[in-house]
Amino acid sequence: MEAHVPLSRCSTLRVGGRAARFLAISDGAMLADVLCAAQVARLPLLMLGGGSNVCPSDAGFDGLVVQNRCGRIEIGDAVCAETGAGLGRVFQSAAASGRSGLEFAVGIPGSVGGALVSNAGAYRSCVGDLLCGLDIAEEGRVRRVGPEWLQLGYRSSRLRAVTEPRAHLLRAWLGLGSGDPARLFRTARGYQEQRLSKQPWLPSAGSFFKNVTDAGVAARVPGLPPKFIAAGVVPAGYLSSACGCLGLRVGGAQVSPRHGNFIVNTGGATASDVRVLASLVRDRVSDAMGVRLEEEVLYVGDWPGADPGV
Ligand SMILES: Cc1cc2nc3c(=O)[nH]c(=O)nc-3n(C[C@H](O)[C@H](O)[C@H](O)COP(=O)(O)OP(=O)(O)OC[C@H]3O[C@@H](n4cnc5c(N)ncnc54)[C@H](O)[C@@H]3O)c2cc1C
């Protein structure tokens, strides 16, 4: 166990103050024991996987941060992965064994656990579509549950709600199809090339806001490609760009000039810079388009005085 560890080291945005206590765990049995003990004792605990979907506060976290590095993967009828396994690594193992379905996940940084909490996805697929079962730690004991337990939706699950006591994900079973490994790797490479051509290189937490499903708004956004108008979906980046947010800055945080839904750390950004910038974007979009953007990125750690819903 370490003390006073900067969370900026554990977040892809590279922001965040110190965790009072920090433990990186790579053994599955130990992870279950620590989580169950903390749940029973009602200890404040923050679990992190890759830290690629969070904005940890500048005040840090006055509790225990557990970094989940449990990464065992078994390829059987279903693929069983400990939740600290990198999603990309699960794809690699599965595809090498001729198992299909995770090609979309290449280039999504982070762990299986973090992916399930936000039902991560891309290219019209998401991890929740594959989920067959889970081992969870809840109220001090480990049990096996079906996928319905997680209440998955578009970039959402029951674990994104601010609730106490909180459960944690230990292992997941993903049901995959079969395919020719060379073809699976080729498909994934194609997705990866698309990402590289669009996404900014500076530190970020990926797409900051969720896309909006609203046919009326889709009809009003200038320059929205016809496929989105037909589907009644507006990618949040189009809304942010249409409202003049590209390049907008607060301190070291900036709305990427390349992608309106990426808030990047140009160097020395604080978590508060990021959060203030996000609320500026939200206000501009709300004023100009009458739509309230909802964060995909989670504000974690201690945010004294902040509205937990925003
Ligand atoms: C460059 C870039 C590109 C991205 N592209 C995409 C994309 O295409 N699609 C997409 O959906 N997302 C994308 N993301 C966002 C992010 O990578 C995903 O949401 C990812 O799945 C998060 O996993 P993580 O392990 O990093 O989660 P973390 O950020 O570590 O955690 C996220 C939340 O989950 C909780 N959590 C983590 N593990 C567990 C667990 N085992 N049990 C209970 N709670 C847990 C944490 O407490 C936190 O609240 C991108 C991010 C970046 C930086």
Domain 2-68 has CATH 3.30.43.10: yes
The preferred substitution site among 82, 117, 297 for testing ligand 1, maximizing ligand atoms within 8 Å of CB, is 117
Confidence of residue 188 (pLDDT cuts 50, 70, 90): very high
What does pTM read for this prediction? 0.96
CATH 3.90.78.10 fits 209-294, yes or no: yes
Ligand 1 centre and the CA of 53: distance in Å? 4
Residue whose CA is closest, atom 34 of ligand 1?
114
Residue whose pair of structure tokens reads 């990198």 in the numeric block: 86
Going by pLDDT thresholds of 50, 70 and 90, the confidence category of residue 24 is very high
* Confidence check: pLDDT of 279 > 60: yes
Which pLDDT value is given to residue 164?
Answer: 62
**C-alpha span between 285 and 287 (Å, rounded):** 6
d(CA 238, CA 212): 10
How long is the chain? 310
- Residue with the larger pLDDT of the pair 122 and 165: 122
Is residue 161 scored above 90 in pLDDT? no
CA dist 120 and 108 (Å) reads 8
Q: Which residues are designated catalytic?
A: 155, 207, 296
Mutate to test the pocket of ligand 1, among 31, 34, 53 (most ligand atoms within 8 A of CB): 53
Task: State what percent of residues in the chain have pLDDT above 90.
Answer: 91
**How far apart are the C-alpha atoms of 52 and 113, rounded to whole Å?**
12
Q: What percent of the chain has pLDDT over 70?
A: 97
Third-level CATH fold of 73-182 = 3.30.465
Side-chain-side CA neighbours of residue 89 (13 Å): 17
Within 6 A (CB) of ligand 1 lie 12, 46-54, 68, 83, 108-111, 113-115, 117-118, 120-122, 159, 168-169, 199, 204-206, 298, 300
Q: Are 122 and 161 in contact (CB under 8 A)?
A: no
Tokens read off for 277: 């910038």
174 close to 113: Cβ distance less than 8 angstroms:
no
How far, in Å, are 24, 29, 101, 155 from residue 35 at the CA level?
Answer: 12, 10, 31, 24
Average of pLDDT values for 137-144?
96
Domain ranges of the chain: 2-68, 73-182, 209-294
Omega before residue 165 within 30° of 0, cis? yes
- The rounded distance, in Å, linking the Cα atoms of 145 and 131 is 11
pLDDT digit string, tens, across residues 240-270:
999 999 999 999 999 999 999 999 999 999 9
Between 223 and 36, where is the model more confident?
Answer: 36
